Amino acid sequence: MSSSLWPYITPGIPDELFERLPGIPMSKREVRLLLISYLRLRPDSVVWDIGAGTGTIPVETGLLCPQGRIVAVERDEEVAHLIRNNCDRFGVTNVDVIEGSAPECLHDLPHRPHRVCLEGGRAIKDILATAWKYLESGGRIVATASSLESLYLISEGFAELQVRNVEVVQSSINRLEGRGGSGSFAAIDPMFILSGEKMD
């Protein structure tokens, strides 16, 4: 699928259009819509997506920021290859895929970010603190939490870093799914999305 065949840049590309790998997490379409809205992107934004997984956020933000640069960080070589495949699939050319473990690899990333997206991670608080050092003044940070532990750690990190204009939202989404000859609603796992600004 090339960019000439892809009919729109509106966020919310259907999940089934992305290439997948078993066991690799993917932000669901409806959650992506929320997450991207809190990034408050500009056409020339530089975005770091740390823990990029399947690559849905780099693809969507790459389409939305044609004059910008997206840096997708992923520690697994096979998953990094998947991200590149999905960028090729949608004709996205402004994504740099970096193979490395955060927070250590963040010191060497190209392009100082205007926006940072954190999608999980075992060292989420350390990753948050390191990314914060490189975030431009006036920039925004958005982090997702799917467990009580990660919600606590991100909240604590936000407080310690004095993140400003903090917003927190929890998704509660049901999708219509066909089962046999009828349709029923199935819940998507809830996700907390925390965001805020760096005001030096």
Global pTM reads 0.92
The CATH number of residue 169's host domain is: 3.40.50.150
* Any domain includes 148: yes
In a domain, 10, yes or no: no
Write the pLDDT tens digit of every residue in 89-140.
Answer: 999 999 999 999 999 999 999 889 999 999 876 799 999 999 999 999 999 9
Instruction: Indicate the number of domains in the chain.
Output: 1
What b-and-e string marks burial along 109-136, b requiring 16 or more CB atoms within 10 Å of the CB? beeebbbbbbbbbeebbbbbebbbeebe
pLDDT at 55 over 70: yes
* pLDDT greater than 60 at residue 5: no
Task: Kindly calculate the radius of gyration of the chain based on its CA atoms and give it in whole angstroms.
Answer: 16
Q: Are 45 and 116 in contact (CB under 8 A)?
A: no
Task: Specify if 186 maps to a domain.
Answer: yes
Statement: residue 7 has pLDDT above 90: no
Q: Check whether 143 has a pLDDT greater than 60.
A: yes
Has residue 172 got a pLDDT over 80? yes
* 42 DSSP β-pair partners: none
Q: Domain of 56?
A: 15-197
Task: Please tell me whether residue 54 adopts helix, strand or coil conformation.
Answer: coil
Does the structure show a pLDDT above 50 at 4?
no
Please report whether residue 1 resides in a domain: no
pLDDT value at residue 29: 93
What are the pLDDT digits (tens) for 72-82?
999 999 999 99
Is the pLDDT score of 30 beyond 90?
yes
- Residue 1, pLDDT above cutoff 60: no
Q: 46 lies in a domain?
A: yes
pLDDT at 25: 84
The residue-averaged pLDDT of 40-63 equals 96
Tell whether 175 is covered by a domain. Answer: yes
For residue 103, say if its preceding peptide bond is cis, omega within 30 degrees of 0.
Answer: yes
Amino acid identity, residue 148? Answer: L
Residue 3 within any structural domain of the chain: no
133 in a structural domain = yes
